[in-house]
Amino acid sequence: MSESVIEKVDSEGIVRLTINRPKALNALNSDVLSALETHLTELENQTNLRAVLITGAGEKSFVAGADITEMRDKTPEEARAFASQALRTIQRLETLPVPVVALVNGFCLGGGCELALACDWAVASDNAVFGQPEVLLGVIPGFGGTQRLPRRVGPAMAIDLVTTGRKIDAKEALRIGLVNRVMPQAELESYVEELTQQLKGNGPQSVRGAKQAVHDGMDQDLDSALALETSLFALCFAGEEQKEGMSAFIEKRKANF
């Protein structure tokens, strides 16, 4: 396998990206962010893309945070540029038109938690540890944590986490809605295979439409969001995917999307 900082595996449009710095607990540095942005830019133009799974190499860490060694001596201007690079990259991940799933194994702290927050949902192994410990280093979250975290778990819990810097385990992360599912570490890979097969069986354009309806509708008033949903629903009937899906249901067979 490649020794690049981001490894990519494509299984019929289900793309798995692995941050590959296990000795550094997959900490985010400029090289990782640059490589990740390059991959995401390519994925934006991949016509057969069905879903993206993102994880970290090794058994100890998803992403333990931003690379403190790189950050320590930055000037305010350099820190702004670094944060801007990270925000741009993470936003590319967030705005992909297909489902994006974080597979969290071990440490998911600081920039790692911010990366997971940009995913549509997260699945955690039972050894996962989450947190925004930046205040312990004399800074605040700079990769979107102060904005995406309250949108995910509510402002009170978000302020708790970003001002105390405390870490929480997978069980508490599930309770507050930071992750969607927790499972034994040994079962995470079998879940990935199950999820991959499930996503392959769904209509790809309808999945994209469903994600668009949720994401775009969240920023609108209810009436406008419902009108958006109706328009996207109607659009489904303009292509062959709906005809195949409903015909397969009536004919009691598996749809061939």
User: In the chain, helix, strand, coil percent, each to 5?
Assistant: 50, 20, 30
Q: Would you name the residues annotated as active-site residues?
A: 114, 134
Which pLDDT value is given to residue 3? Answer: 65
Amino acid at 31: D
126-162, pLDDT tens digit by residue? 999 999 999 999 999 999 999 999 999 999 999 999 9
Tell me how far CA of residue 114 lies from CA of 134, 146, 240, in angstroms: 12, 9, 38
- Give the C-alpha separation, 57 to 211, whole Å: 28
- Give the C-alpha separation, 20 to 56, whole Å: 6
Which pLDDT value is given to residue 149? Answer: 98
The DSSP bridge partners found for residue 51 are: 14
Tell me how far CA of residue 245 lies from CA of 98, 197, 252, in angstroms: 19, 17, 10
Which pLDDT value is given to residue 127? Answer: 96
Helix segments in 154-239, DSSP class H: 155-164, 170-175, 188-200, 204-217, 222-236
Spell out the residues 6+ positions from residue 225 whose beta carbon is closer than 8 angstroms to its own: 213, 216, 217, 218
| C-alpha radius of gyration, the chain, whole number | 19
Task: Note whether 62 and 118 are within 8 A (CB).
Answer: no
Tell me how far CA of residue 59 lies from CA of 8, 126, 147, in angstroms: 18, 12, 29
Calculate the average pLDDT of the chain. 95
> For residue 50, is pLDDT > 50?
yes
Q: What are the DSSP calls for 113-164, one per residue?
A: HHHHHTSSEEEEETT-EEE-GGGGGT----SSHHHHHHHHH-HHHHHHHHHH
Instruction: Give the domains, in start order, of the chain with CATH numbers.
Output: 6-200 (3.90.226.10), 204-250 (1.10.12.10)
98-110, pLDDT tens digit by residue? 999 999 999 999 9
Measured CA angle at 234 (ends 232, 240), to 5 deg: 100
